[in-house]
Structure 1
């Protein structure tokens, strides 16, 4: 708001002053000296009730188009006359007025207004709305909460901070895409559940980028190239009222990222740097050498088999006294982190700017010289004409990153199985060790270690917004956006990565992958606002024209003469497995919004959109979506104010509407062909189906928001139900058709329901001490409501009607068979074999509830913020629990040496192996994977302004940041945040410290 308040201010010219003098009554002119109208410089300082300086305070001369903003240290300078009155305004504080009189210095203390905090404006996409007046469900985090977190993607910084927003990190490698679900999984297909990303008004394809490297398991996060320090706020739109205006693009929620802009004040420079380190916080409790050998020998004893060099090289050939902690060896290293951010901002009464850049580098906890680095640059220009009719807003953000990884060797997956007495994997000179492994007829578990992968990506997101006030209350706006994402990956695979005995069959090789995403969008809009009776009407009419082009090119180079030439395709003997793909996507829409509030108590919001997508066939491309939202601020009613004095705010709101989903491949409605290698020709690759249409998501929500004791305590309670029907999937076909799938609509309905609770409180507010708490918790429930004839479909062994989508169909475990000593599984139909007809146990792998609790505490110049994240769920330990065969196991298997153990008899026979494989598909290894984690902790100290007076520095803040410091859980896997096989992990324990300077 302060931008609009200050825009267009200019000093009054002498002619204006003369006209005012002439208009004054003669008696008044005679009684006032002329110098009373002469402006002179006023200086001063603005502080809060605790004596802390307030930067960014709006200071204007009442009734005049003249003003300024206080600096970082609270100081200000303004030209005013003795008759003027200065008006001081700042979000969260009561407006203050001071008559100038004969004073040259005016220092003011602003009083905090707790109720004014509800006047915060949130971004709703095509429009903004005050927090207290919104009819939709919008969650918001600000720069203060995320900018110091040592993460690569801003999505990772949202964990535990928003109700209904579930984020699962991709893994331990920097750059891996996280999985984000806003109010659950709506679509049967994984690619149909991505939310819409909007950066400064420009949509960004949220689908992870393809990779041949270790990042390929999750893909590359398209938001990696953003600078966290340049983000002003992130809003997440969840319900129909908030998302319907985005139509089909908002079916799975919308994430709005707004970057920082300049202030209309004198130039200010901000510099921030931090450095630190990250380590793997947990280890599995595995067998040591003595225990491992004991288990192995017992297996041979029980099986009646004599160990020899071929079946027990770990017992016969390898050193029986050798011990290596392979976990510490492979991921016990330290990943060093460095982050530098520099920005300059400023402006005058009509124009503001902000320009900045950053550098981020992060090492690895694994052996080898691998790292991730990122460079970003951002520019934001804002201009308003002196008449305040023309507005221009330009934002340009560019980021490029380089990810140097070990090729395609997943070190973390090989570590846990290595026997503790296994020979060295490296020679003293750093080369791979082969001799001892070859003697045993085994392969070095790090074969391929010297493969390297270098992934470089660049991401440009730019937007130009132009607005012009045609008439009073009527404006014409146009947003023009362009985005370009380019990634290039090179994987080098030298012969020395592999066993020399096989070199005769191995060539130096390289894998090349290049991907491009280009998109432009134009959105003209008419915006109208007027007062009608005792209310206000806001109307919006707009259109969207968007086109995207995606292309990818992959090829493999084979037969390089020397390792130094790998990657230069001109030096390759041949190029094989070449693939290329080019797709185009066109999207257009007409959208409208009509909002009306009466007496600031009753609100209604109508939104509608007609979408057109090129991903559907003729006659199916257009569809209509819309929503209605309403709210009643009942605390404004006299009978509430008179009878419930402790209730400072109360609002009921609700919404219902529909959104679509077209997140499918392009050209699915057409017959598809690809060119054959060689002299030419075409072969079919896909069947046409021109009849499939939009997937529909119907959303319903009801909520209540309450504020108590002058809004010192705030409570929000929301209930929602989302139903997604007409499911778009690739329907599997019989092999005789020659095609794996055909795009179609399935008669399935998926429902997500849940409760979300949000609580905030201002616990203590005194002269020196302030303590705020924020709490959120979500209780989601997902289920497949209906699917007619699912038993006859290809999904009969995947889903069950009335149960969640995220389930596993398991066998029924019946304990250890007393006769064989092996695990026993129920043969339900007694046909003598185990198949899906015997999988009668339905295990829900989803989260029962999740949330977070954060606290902001300040004492004088000290500040402390910390966030605890919590999750209630179950996880499965699906490995390292087999006692007997080659390979290390968890410490628990030592119980198998005792009678009556829950583990089967120690053996490596085929019968034991089969029994173990079967028990993995039961609840035998399912355990509580709930956790409470200290996700972030930040401690800061601001050096007093008086100490910095002679340095030329306006502000200096020292800070210490920790992430994933403590995890409380009963889960015996590596990381309860990823309770899959029990050997994967994502959350590194990170500690950084740094300094922020303002000049």
Structure 2
């Protein structure tokens, strides 16, 4: 007999009956607990534990612990990315602790965000580059784009300057459009698109603009994926013509709660100085210039020789950018959840100083919330993410701290009086302004960014899912420039002034989708059908106030004597689309993806408002073939893939197809400001790609090679018009085709993989060629002297340099048409200004609790110098003294003209290539201390950025887009502490 108690009722069952009739399932349920660790004994959070042959399961908490209810004879399936999956029978046990073994091959199954769907490296038919949270947070950067340099094949990121907040330039596989604004990629943050065009500014950021990604917290980013080829980008239609940057933020834990704090402080300096002339060298060169010209030095033309102290010395480079910019950053996040609900709440604060001689600061505060919820039957899913950021940028309003200051003569007088005011006497005596004119101007730029997304999905039937994504963004900038009279020469009776600039971008998007997944024998299929409705409203307001009675009132428009140059504008943009994707695979060996999209944009006239785009991607995993397995056993993975398709481009101004008018200053009048052209249509980018991916020696060596060719035609430009028409341009399609072709190589090797020691190396190389392959009748167009068929878009037309005239000592150039003058017709030498190739090599080394990572970025590119105008009242590179083929020192007008022409020739060309230690990161886990304090992790870290640059280039920064005349990168060393509770 057997005794069983249920709810206090005693049951007496015969043993024979018990054997013949198994105990009901309810009676077999029990609670199983345990801990999951790796081979080093460290707990693994986030491990999925599923009851075999069911959809029910749990996830380990931050301590690697789990708790699940299951039948005594069930089987638990433990799985986690990067580890081998284990199936463990329960066999009536109540405590099951297991250890997972690392699986290099499983790393290829990491989920990759492809936008509207997820894929893996193994199954992807497109080309998608990816960086992870660890690679991003190891870099003390403001914008996440700065963390991509040297890490992605085909992705070229150029810094916009050393000032915090400056927008970087990102180009994905080259320049496609003749228009600058036609080359920006699409930014998607948690499923919500935001404008990638930098925001306008009148401060020191005016040349680069303000980066719209500044308000994101890099430490809150889970991954960044960049979609490059037709198969990956076609589902975004016209918005993905120049590639897509997908930013995914972090989400919460599914079990338990956790608190994480990360704090660091950093110091940034200029890593490089120009080798300039010393005082004796400079004065000797100046005196020699007057002797060469046969001119008598006077107080007007030689004030540095006659009026200024010959023994005075100022290191103007040290004065301008010799400071140390201090940075403080603090991050705090709280995560938690249950089996059905998870959440993450975080915030951060960042403060960065300046290298310049002023009290300028950059402040940023961010907040983020992520929430994900499943119903009990796992059919309904609700998720939301909110990212909010506000920054406060104080930069010099009109202060030029460029070459005009740091190339001052070394014996130039002081710029400040003892009381801190600007010194004018010695500068006015020389007939020139104080080089720090505008020093007390104040620029205060504040931006706010709010990005919210909510998605809902419901599984109607097995494999059939309805989904809707709702997004909203709001981005505003408020800029106030205060211009006090004391910034300028009092002899000119300057007024107190202010300049105001406000911009706003607001958008919403709705994307309903139908998803279906099914499997019929060896055939597996995925289907997506969706629609997009998007609207964006933009506005801009600017004005100036003058005549403030006192400096304290500047900015208060009610106190201004006069308001001038007031302007206001607003635009609306509407976008709609239908899209679909069919993905098939046979036996997980042969893959075909078909994508189609029909786009509609309000930027085109009614006749051309809609257009169709699509792509096809195919892949063959040939290592699944039996004959490959038998013959090439060392080949653990092999895939051939290819894609072809077209995407559009509508990145032009709004309302270009309509006549535009503005009100006259007098009442009741209008005047035209632009011509209408209702017939221009979409710019089209056709993309072709082929690639191979290999895994060798059980995926210890992973290699990929890609070849691509992108052709952008029907170019949309503001076509220049003759002045007689009364208009500058008209929007039109040009019969031009731009081609970008190139190769990309990537490989990763797992050099050592032991319990206490691991070493991984990653390498990427990109070589690309940009070319204008067609433009009928270009010689008759206004672009004849800008572009050349058969050459890249980024070219320089140069004079043919014929050497230094031995009699005059001046530069000479070929007068091609022999008309007695040099003009555009004589610029016959065409120079490519693009990079030849670029890439990076990184190493990750882990030894017990110590982790070390470094990245070398390399670039092969042309360079250019311009600090060699010897004989003028400006310091020059000491390189001049050792170069015999340069112009003699001269102060003459003819010498200035010759030097100006030399700037438009090959005289000052240099090799601008460089090898840079972009990132170096070291960290150590204080395991014993963490245990004593009851912490999950206690980590000390030390990071460095732009630590070493190896180059033969003699300018300030070979990466600078202005020929090395500005600073693009600072050397930053940071140290901090990370705690997990």
Q: Give, in angstroms, the shift of residue 71 of structure 1.
A: 3.4
* C-alpha contact 2:316 2:407 (8 A) present in aligned 1: no
Deviations 1:739-778 (A, max 9, x none): 0000000000000000000101101011210011111000
User: 2:930 — aligned with what?
Assistant: 948
Q: CA, structure 1 residues 466+311, in 2 after alignment: closer, same or farther (shift >3 Å)?
A: same
User: 2:419 — aligned with what?
Assistant: 429
- Distance in 1 (CA, whole Å) between partners of 2:511 and 2:17 is 58
The root-mean-square deviation of aligned C-alpha atoms, in Å, is 2.2
**SS class of match (1:631):** strand
Correspondence for 1:442 among 432, 449, 456: 432
Deviations 1:45-75 (A, max 9, x none): 3222233332222234446666443333434
Q: CA, structure 1 residues 395+445, in 2 after alignment: closer, same or farther (shift >3 Å)?
A: same
**2:639 aligned with 1:657:** no
**2:228 aligned with 1:246:** no
**2:555 aligned with 1:572:** no
Deviations 1:914-947 (A, max 9, x none): 1111111111101111001010111011122x54
Q: Give, in angstroms, the shift of residue 827 of structure 1.
A: 0.8
Correspondence for 2:587 among 583, 599, 605: 599
1:338-737 alignment to 2 at 5 Å?
338-503=328-493, 506-737=494-725
Q: CA, structure 1 residues 319+387, in 2 after alignment: closer, same or farther (shift >3 Å)?
A: same
Q: CA, structure 1 residues 34+600, in 2 after alignment: closer, same or farther (shift >3 Å)?
A: closer
Length-normalised TM-score, structure 2: 0.97
Deviations 1:224-280 (A, max 9, x none): 100111111111000000111111000000011111111211011111111111000
**2:917 aligned with 1:934:** yes
* C-alpha contact 1:962 1:990 (8 A) present in aligned 2: yes
Give unpaired runs (5+ residues) of structure 1: 1-13
* C-alpha contact 2:767 2:838 (8 A) present in aligned 1: yes
Q: Give, in angstroms, the shift of residue 145 of structure 1.
A: 0.7
**SS class of match (1:457):** strand
Correspondence for 2:183 among 185, 193, 201: 193
How many residue pairs align between the two structures?
976
**2:961 aligned with 1:971:** no
Q: CA, structure 1 residues 25+472, in 2 after alignment: closer, same or farther (shift >3 Å)?
A: farther
- Distance in 1 (CA, whole Å) between partners of 2:55 and 2:658 is 62
Q: Give, in angstroms, the shift of residue 681 of structure 1.
A: 2.0
**SS class of match (2:497):** strand
1:175-186 alignment to 2 at 5 Å?
175-186=165-176
Q: Give, in angstroms, the shift of residue 106 of structure 1.
A: 3.6
**SS class of match (2:898):** helix
* C-alpha contact 1:295 1:894 (8 A) present in aligned 2: no
**2:741 aligned with 1:759:** no
* C-alpha contact 1:876 1:979 (8 A) present in aligned 2: no
- Distance in 2 (CA, whole Å) between partners of 1:31 and 1:625 is 63
**SS class of match (1:714):** strand
* C-alpha contact 2:614 2:647 (8 A) present in aligned 1: yes
Correspondence for 1:889 among 849, 862, 876: 876
Q: Give, in angstroms, the shift of residue 99 of structure 1.
A: 4.0
- Distance in 1 (CA, whole Å) between partners of 2:694 and 2:786 is 43
- Distance in 2 (CA, whole Å) between partners of 1:102 and 1:468 is 36
Q: Give, in angstroms, the shift of residue 42 of structure 1.
A: 5.0
- Distance in 1 (CA, whole Å) between partners of 2:462 and 2:54 is 20
**SS class of match (1:923):** coil
Deviates more, 1:144-153 or 1:103-112: 103-112
User: 2:908 — aligned with what?
Assistant: 925
Q: Give, in angstroms, the shift of residue 103 of structure 1.
A: 5.4
- Distance in 2 (CA, whole Å) between partners of 1:170 and 1:501 is 37
- Distance in 2 (CA, whole Å) between partners of 1:469 and 1:938 is 44
* C-alpha contact 1:73 1:955 (8 A) present in aligned 2: no
* C-alpha contact 1:72 1:955 (8 A) present in aligned 2: no
Q: CA, structure 1 residues 53+717, in 2 after alignment: closer, same or farther (shift >3 Å)?
A: same
Q: CA, structure 1 residues 27+967, in 2 after alignment: closer, same or farther (shift >3 Å)?
A: farther
Q: CA, structure 1 residues 469+76, in 2 after alignment: closer, same or farther (shift >3 Å)?
A: closer
**2:154 aligned with 1:164:** yes
Deviates more, 1:64-73 or 1:752-761: 64-73
User: 1:211 — aligned with what?
Assistant: 201
Q: Give, in angstroms, the shift of residue 831 of structure 1.
A: 1.1
* C-alpha contact 2:508 2:534 (8 A) present in aligned 1: yes
- Distance in 1 (CA, whole Å) between partners of 2:799 and 2:219 is 50
Q: CA, structure 1 residues 518+815, in 2 after alignment: closer, same or farther (shift >3 Å)?
A: same
Deviations 1:94-137 (A, max 9, x none): 11233445755543221111111111111111111122001111
* C-alpha contact 1:37 1:82 (8 A) present in aligned 2: no
**SS class of match (1:780):** strand
**SS class of match (2:547):** strand
Length-normalised TM-score, structure 1: 0.95
- Distance in 2 (CA, whole Å) between partners of 1:873 and 1:266 is 52
Q: CA, structure 1 residues 821+840, in 2 after alignment: closer, same or farther (shift >3 Å)?
A: same
Deviations 1:839-896 (A, max 9, x none): 111110000000011111100010011111000011111x220111111111122347
* C-alpha contact 1:895 1:903 (8 A) present in aligned 2: no
- Distance in 2 (CA, whole Å) between partners of 1:415 and 1:63 is 73
* C-alpha contact 1:211 1:220 (8 A) present in aligned 2: yes
- Distance in 1 (CA, whole Å) between partners of 2:801 and 2:327 is 47
**SS class of match (1:215):** coil
Q: CA, structure 1 residues 27+840, in 2 after alignment: closer, same or farther (shift >3 Å)?
A: farther
Q: Give, in angstroms, the shift of residue 796 of structure 1.
A: 0.6
- Distance in 1 (CA, whole Å) between partners of 2:716 and 2:167 is 24
Q: Give, in angstroms, the shift of residue 970 of structure 1.
A: 0.5
- Distance in 2 (CA, whole Å) between partners of 1:345 and 1:689 is 54
- Distance in 1 (CA, whole Å) between partners of 2:529 and 2:65 is 43
User: 1:6 — aligned with what?
Assistant: none
Deviations 1:520-544 (A, max 9, x none): 1111111111113411111111111
User: 1:981 — aligned with what?
Assistant: 963
Q: CA, structure 1 residues 814+383, in 2 after alignment: closer, same or farther (shift >3 Å)?
A: same
- Distance in 2 (CA, whole Å) between partners of 1:35 and 1:189 is 69
User: 2:314 — aligned with what?
Assistant: 324
Q: Give, in angstroms, the shift of residue 78 of structure 1.
A: 4.7
Q: CA, structure 1 residues 29+62, in 2 after alignment: closer, same or farther (shift >3 Å)?
A: farther
1:900-911 alignment to 2 at 5 Å?
901-911=884-894
* C-alpha contact 1:335 1:365 (8 A) present in aligned 2: yes
Q: Give, in angstroms, the shift of residue 949 of structure 1.
A: 3.0
User: 1:275 — aligned with what?
Assistant: 265
* C-alpha contact 2:47 2:79 (8 A) present in aligned 1: yes
Q: Give, in angstroms, the shift of residue 710 of structure 1.
A: 0.6
- Distance in 2 (CA, whole Å) between partners of 1:485 and 1:638 is 56
**SS class of match (1:619):** helix
- Distance in 2 (CA, whole Å) between partners of 1:805 and 1:16 is 82
Give unpaired runs (5+ residues) of structure 2: none
User: 1:151 — aligned with what?
Assistant: 141
**SS class of match (2:608):** coil
User: 1:994 — aligned with what?
Assistant: 976
**SS class of match (1:911):** helix
